[in-house]
Structure 1
Amino acid sequence: MLMGHAAAPVPCRLVAAAYRDEQEAADKVVRLGPGVDACLFASPVPYELAKRSGVLTVPATHVQLGGPALTAALARAALDERIDPRRISLDVLSRADVEEAYADLGLPASGVLTREEPGATGTVAAYHERMLRQGTTTGALTCLPAVADRLTTAGVPTVRVRPTSAAVRTALHTAALLGAHHRLEESQLTVVLVEVPTLREPVRRAAPRYWRDELRLSLHRLLVQEANRMHAVVWAIDDHSYLVTATRGSMAGATDGFRVLPFAARIRDELGLSVEVGVGMGRTTHDAEAHARAALARTQAGKQAQGFAVDREGRTLVPAPRMPPQLPGQGRPKGTEVLARLAAKLDGGDTIVDAESAGRMLGVTPRTARRLLRTLVDEGLAWPLPPNRTPQPGRPRQLYRLIVEKLGPR
């Protein structure tokens, strides 16, 4: 198996990953990791095994063993007096490849037995040997070196199907092109727009600006930390939205192939905020931002994370799953009702609460109160304040400012 690491079709660097058995192909791919741009397998068997295991994260191809390679193997079999090419067993290659080759040679293929399904060396070798012992075939053609060795030791007339030089050159060229395209695609410019509904919504009365400033500062700090891990850049657009510039490769890694909203989970867990996200790609910053805004508009219109990523051609990528709700949907009280109950029991007009104090006011456990407070945050009825870090172990105390202004005149 050869792994290509190429920035262009030529030149490229090849990394050999040898194995004793094709079953090891998937493990070799995992060990090489993301340091390669394309995978080239020596035959269809390791390629299929790696593909089925789900470890391939880069483009991959394999050396073709049908066509000229099969024809050359049949020619070698015809030179062996023990083998009748019209009565043989053959593994790996498809029935279509076999019939095409025999049609080109003007030979009937009705007496040729094929086993396309890959398997362990012993299983495939036993198949060929059984067909010979039963008198159904006169010999075996195999694409697997280990099977060829075992059959030869067992006295089975065997010819190994080997790739031709032309097939190897073609496969190398294809792998280099796949790697180059992958590299260009991975470096494609990507823009992420992050909007915070809680900061976007105005309040009815003038509220202390300190709370919003603290929230923006915490959010900006978190986005910068996440962007640094992705080698990205982040800056604030206005009071409630941010722009992150990255590459497609780094963004795909951070979003599980654009299936998970970037940054959203950590923002929700640490700051108690829900965010709206749009991801766009393009050949220029302007195009990427335009696609990101289109994706963000779709997200906001549907109130779901559907079609949140748009590629450079304007097509929607794999939609992200819906963000999990903060509370079980059944029997959940409305946010305004919870806020009104808390506001009625506020002492001296202080609008800062935590889970313990809110629980006492509502007559529920701190755990339930914490969920209710997160509901208020989701509905824009409370602002989570930066956690109160203390030297004591355990979860830091999370404070919330209730936006009682949204209740209107009381």
Structure 2
Amino acid sequence: MTIGVIGPHEVVERVMLMGPGSTGPLNARLIAAAYRDEQEATDKVLRLGSAIDAYLFASPVPYEFARKAGVLTMPATYVPLGGASLHEALLRATLDERFEPTRASLDVLGRSDVVEAYSEVDLPVDGIHVHEELTSTSQLTSFHEGLWRRKVTKMAITCVRGVAERLEAIGVPTMRLRPTNAGVRSALQTAGLLGAHHRLEEAQLGVVIVDVPTLRDSTRRSTPRYWRDELRLALQRLLLQEAHRINATAHPVDDHTFMVTATRGSLVSATEGFRQPPFVERIKAELGIAIEVGIGMGRTTQDAETHARAALSRAQATRQSFAVDREGRSLVPAQRAPQRQQTPEPLRTKGRETLLRLSEKIAEEEGPLVVDAENAGRMLGVTPRTARRLLRTLVEEGLAWPLPPNRTLQPGRPRQLYRLIVEKIDKDKASR
């Protein structure tokens, strides 16, 4: 297990010298990421990358900068500066005649924590002023300086290094809160526990059920057996490639369903944190067909598969959530449903008009959904050359899938067959 330690050089050095034993029974490796200014914490998180199981920040200040920047992808904690750290600062202030802690301004800490710490050492709180929100260094400096210049306070207690340096430069008596050794050890143990829990959660079993509507049996239309076999093999080959990429396994379940077995950690990376269904875009781009996906977590493969099938049914019914955890609760909803509602797919493109005309002719003749340029030209009333161009347009719009050319002993170019995906037209009609 690896813990990234982010903070100023002096605090990071203290943490590193404490060693892995400070995390209790957990065996952890510490990686140092020291900075000169708290606002560099975001860059340090990005530099550490995904090799970290948990982050430990030197104080709530760099943690808040990283959290607000949205770069925390792993569990994180920080060394608290309230409690023992504030008690230490108050003790140092009472022993130094330059400071008067009963008339002080404080930042970042919560007012309730400050009042509690003052009460525990029997100091009055009437003359203290607290700025709880973490803002820019200049704003926090103005807060302390303004109170001091108006003689409302006689000292400043800050959690931010840059604020302490600016206040000292203009002559404001300043005390900077520092983490205690006990606080560092406690935070290290917390980081170790967070990292261990994250590893266990990432190793949780996950199952993806991939359903292919195009391969389902239909009483209205029949498709050639060889075409279904070709598509199934192409789809299985593509899923095996995707599964290998995320260290998972894939195998067919029946004629129109596949199962991918992976860990939660692998699925998080493949779905952008369960925000996008996996495999959908690549299959659509390379095979020109739509798939439906359900993801489930569980303690066993059977539990995960049950939850995956429930997620698939839910996704088919609501077009929103496609993944559930091991308790059956929805994870982050998919983003494709709102996109589909906000920007509906155009119904009057050239390709869709061509597909609609072909599907009507095929329905009249009760013919197969596989055509070539000659048959398409006859049904559309155009030359084979024009029909070939129209069929290529269908492929570009994902409305047809080119089949492998027939091998014949006759000279000349073999016929190029196309499978028409008329299911797209059916969905358009159903949505009207």
Q: Please report the TM-score for the alignment, with normalisation by the length of structure 2.
A: 0.79
Whether 2:372 is the aligned partner of 1:352: answer yes
Contact 1:345 1:361 in 2 (8 A): no
Shift of 1:43: 0.7
Q: Which runs of 5+ in 1 are unaligned?
A: 389-397, 405-410
1:125-274 matched pairs, under 5 angstroms? 125-202=141-218, 207-274=223-290
Which of 70, 86, 91 is 2:86 aligned to?
Answer: 70
User: How far did residue 201 of structure 1 move?
Assistant: 2.6
After TM superposition, give the deviation of residue 312 of structure 1 in Å. 1.3
More helix by share: 2
Provide the rounded CA distance (Å) in 2 between the counterparts of 1:89 and 1:308: 51
The answer for the alignment partner of 1:28 in structure 2 is: 44
Displacement after TM superposition at 1:335 (Å): 6.4
User: Residue 206 and residue 93 in structure 1: after superposition, are their counterparts in 2 closer, same or farther (change >3 A)?
Assistant: closer
What's the offset of the Cα at 1:215?
A: 0.9
* Aligned 8 A contact 1:278 1:294 in 2: yes
Compared CA separation, residues 342 and 141, structure 1 to 2 (3 A): same
- After superposition, the Cα gap between the structure-2 partners of 1:167 and 1:252, relative to the gap in structure 1 and judged at 3 Å, is same
CA distance in 2, matches of 1:157, 1:365: 85
- Alignment partner, residue 321 of structure 1: 335
Partner of 2:104: 88
**Equivalent residues of 2:41, 2:63 under 8 A apart:** yes
Query: Where does the alignment leave 5 or more consecutive residues of structure 2 unmatched?
Result: 7-14, 407-415, 423-432
Percent identical residues: 55
Q: Distance in 1 between matches of 2:379 and 2:90?
A: 81
Aligned with residue 47 of structure 1, among 56, 60, 63: 63
Partner of 1:14: 30
Give the Å deviation of 1:386: 5.9
Alpha-carbon shift at residue 106 of structure 1 (Å): 3.1
Give the SS at the match of 1:237. Answer: strand
Is contact 1:88–1:112 with CA below 8 Å preserved after alignment? yes
Q: Distance in 1 between matches of 2:40 and 2:214?
A: 51
Match of 1:2 in 2: 5
Letter in 1 for 2:283: I
Amino acid in the other structure paired with 2:419? R
* Alignment partners' CA distance in 2, 1:212 and 1:8: 58
CA contact (8 A) 1:279 1:291 kept: yes
Q: Equivalents in 1 of 2:24, 2:300: separation in Å?
A: 21
- TM value normalised by structure 1: 0.82
Equivalence for 1:394: none
Classify 1:387/1:132 alpha carbon distance in 2 versus 1 (closer, same or farther; 3 Å): farther
Please report the RMSD computed on the Cα atoms of aligned residues, expressed in angstroms: 3.8
CA separation of 1:276/1:94 partners in 2, compared to 1, >3 Å: closer, same or farther?
same
d(CA) in 2 for partners of 1:161, 1:87: 17
Larger displacement relative to structure 2 (43-52 or 71-80): 71-80
Query: After alignment, is 21-30 or 204-213 more displaced?
Result: 204-213
Paired positions, count: 389
Range 209-218 or range 322-331, more displaced: 322-331
Report if the CA contact (8 A) 2:24-2:189 is conserved.
no
Q: Is the 8 A contact 1:338 1:372 kept in 2?
A: no
Among candidates 287, 300, 317, match of residue 303 of structure 2: 287
1:277, 1:296 within 8 Å by CA — same for their partners in 2? yes
Q: Is the 8 A contact 1:192 1:244 kept in 2?
A: yes
Structure 2 distance, partners of 1:86, 1:71, is 13
Paired position in structure 1 for 2:325:
311
